[in-house]
């Protein structure tokens, strides 16, 4: 008789939500977790007839949760996700068509389910057409499945529109996510203003463009009793602004992305367009401030900021090239640098890419619970490899980490109890 039960035994079981780190295993039954813990450390704990998968002492954790990706090709995106151990992700609304209508929310969710790979949840647009003028029907979009609201890679520039958005969203308990750049200060800039930009002859973006928007929106959040989340914080001043706001009790959270704690502006040194991002890479002092913000809890989560770009849009002079880098494939390995470099414990790093983003977005993911979806990642935290953009499971190849030696390899990704990725398959 066929069995739906699979026992993952002999693992180092990690669950950041409950601070569990011990030898153990997980039993799945169909699409759900049936049991987990030290009782499944070996075959004796597995029920009769279950399929046995020996994890050989490697780390078994809830699947990664990525709270911000852009979708180019949906099939390519979910394939990249599972290759990086990401089982749930939230996509920005800057799709074609824009996710500002109930039918588009439902279409994205339906298409993602049909892929049968990583789960994709949609953000709804804050404003119609992402134009920053007229509010979208956030209440109806939430009913249709939008998990939070943002204008994606565009900042909501008009303070009155942002005030209305925070106020309207608060009546439904919804979160507004802001891309923190004051547009008029960013216009025409392609790199962080300073010595590197000057030496390369590139027009600069002052770091104040980020903190001005953060501080404005924090004040609007206080005014409206709204719920604000700042995306990809990258500067010392903006992290400190969030830190101070939290101390005052403002309902504000934030995330960052791997490039902002693992790279600095030197990465663009030879006009490397793969390292042209939005926000741009910052000074080393800012990179260190991002690490500090992760360590002290000011920064609540890490998102990949996966932004696939075609070869033509990156094979241009630096000033004309499109900003953005792919990140799903390398989210785990780059995040683990915080552990390998001694900044954080392994469970603390995993929390930033599992339970914390799941909790922020209200997703049924990121933790081990009986009856929860059987979404898991098996990984070796120590295995070294070199990022080679051409060999990543990704249609787009624009990785800012191309050529970087890293540690941490995904060995198996499980979604709803099914193995959807193993290396070499």
- pLDDT tens for the chain, 425 residues long, are 456 999 999 999 999 999 999 999 999 999 999 999 999 989 998 999 999 999 999 999 999 999 999 998 999 999 999 999 999 999 999 998 999 999 999 998 888 888 889 999 999 999 999 999 999 999 999 999 999 999 999 999 999 999 999 999 999 999 999 999 999 999 999 999 999 999 999 999 999 999 999 999 999 999 999 999 999 999 999 999 999 999 999 999 999 999 999 999 999 999 999 999 999 999 999 999 999 999 999 999 999 999 999 999 999 999 999 999 999 999 999 999 999 999 999 999 999 999 999 999 999 999 999 999 999 999 999 999 999 999 999 999 999 999 999 999 999 999 999 999 999 76
Give pLDDT, residue 425. 62
Domains in the chain, number: 1
Q: Which domain holds residue 287?
A: 63-361
Please state, as a whole number, how many other Cβ atoms lie within 10 Å of the Cβ of residue 396: 24
Place of tokens 């279409």: 107
Residue 204 lies in a domain: yes
Q: What is the pTM of this model?
A: 0.97
Residue 212 lies in a domain: yes
Residue 395 lies in a domain: no
Residue 415 lies in a domain: no
The whole-angstrom separation of Cα 181 and Cα 192 is: 12
Give pLDDT, residue 199. 96
Place of tokens 């709804």: 124
Give pLDDT, residue 1. 44
The residue count for the chain? 425
Residue 225, domain CATH: 3.20.20.140
Residue 321 lies in a domain: yes
Residue 43 lies in a domain: no
Residue 20 lies in a domain: no
Among the options 305, 310, 382, 402, which is catalytic?
A: 305
Q: Token pair for residue 16?
A: 């950041």
- Burial status of residue 245 (CB atoms within 10 A of its CB: 0-12, 13-18, 19 or more): buried
Give pLDDT, residue 112. 86
Residue 386 lies in a domain: no
64-69 and 252-256 strand pairing: unpaired
Q: Tell me, yes or no, if 305 is annotated catalytic.
A: yes
């Amino acid at each position: 008789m066929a069995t739906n039960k699979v026992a993952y035994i002999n693992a180092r079981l990690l669950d950041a939500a409950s601070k569990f780190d011990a030898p153990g295993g997980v039993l799945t039954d169909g699409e759900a977790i049936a049991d987990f813990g030290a009782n499944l450390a070996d075959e004796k704990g597995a029920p009769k007839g279950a399929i046995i998968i020996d994890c050989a002492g490697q780390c078994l954790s809830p699947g990664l949760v990525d709270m911000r990706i852009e979708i180019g090709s949906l099939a390519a995106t979910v394939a990249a996700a599972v290759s990086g151990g990401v089982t749930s992700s939230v996509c920005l609304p800057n799709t074609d068509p824009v996710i500002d209508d109930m039918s588009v929310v439902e279409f994205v969710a339906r298409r993602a389910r049909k892929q049968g790979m990583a789960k994709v949840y949609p953000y709804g647009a804050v404003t119609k057409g992402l134009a920053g003028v007229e509010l979208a029907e956030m209440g109806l979009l939430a009913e249709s499945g939008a998990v939070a609201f943002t204008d994606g890679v565009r900042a909501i520039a008009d303070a009155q529109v942002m005030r209305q958005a925070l106020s309207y969203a608060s009546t439904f308990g919804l979160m507004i996510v802001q891309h923190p750049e004051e547009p008029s200060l960013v216009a025409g800039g392609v790199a962080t203003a300073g010595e590197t930009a000057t030496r390369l002859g590139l027009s600069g973006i002052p770091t104040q463009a980020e903190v001005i928007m953060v501080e404005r929106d924090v004040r609007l959040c206080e005014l409206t009793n709204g719920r604000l989340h700042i995306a990809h914080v990258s500067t010392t001043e903006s992290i400190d602004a969030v830190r101070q706001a939290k101390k005052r009790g403002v309902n504000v959270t934030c995330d960052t992305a791997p490039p902002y704690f693992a790279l600095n502006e030197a990465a663009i040194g030879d006009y490397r367009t793969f390292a042209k991002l939005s926000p741009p890479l910052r000074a080393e002092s800012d990179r260190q401030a991002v690490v500090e913000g992760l360590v002290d809890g000011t920064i609540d989560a890490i998102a990949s900021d996966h932004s696939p770009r075609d070869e033509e849009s990156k094979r241009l002079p630096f000033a004309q090239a499109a900003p953005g880098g792919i990140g799903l494939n390398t989210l785990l390995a780059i995040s683990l640098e915080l552990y390998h470099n001694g900044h954080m414990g392994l469970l603390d790093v995993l929390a930033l890419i599992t339970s914390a983003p799941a909790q922020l977005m209200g997703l049924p993911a990121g933790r081990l619970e009986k009856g929860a979806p059987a979404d898991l990642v098996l990984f070796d935290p120590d295995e070294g490899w070199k990022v080679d953009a051409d060999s990543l499971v990704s249609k787009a190849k624009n990785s800012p980490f191309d050529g970087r030696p890293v540690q941490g390899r995904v060995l198996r990704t499980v979604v709803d109890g099914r193995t959807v990725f193993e290396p070499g398959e």
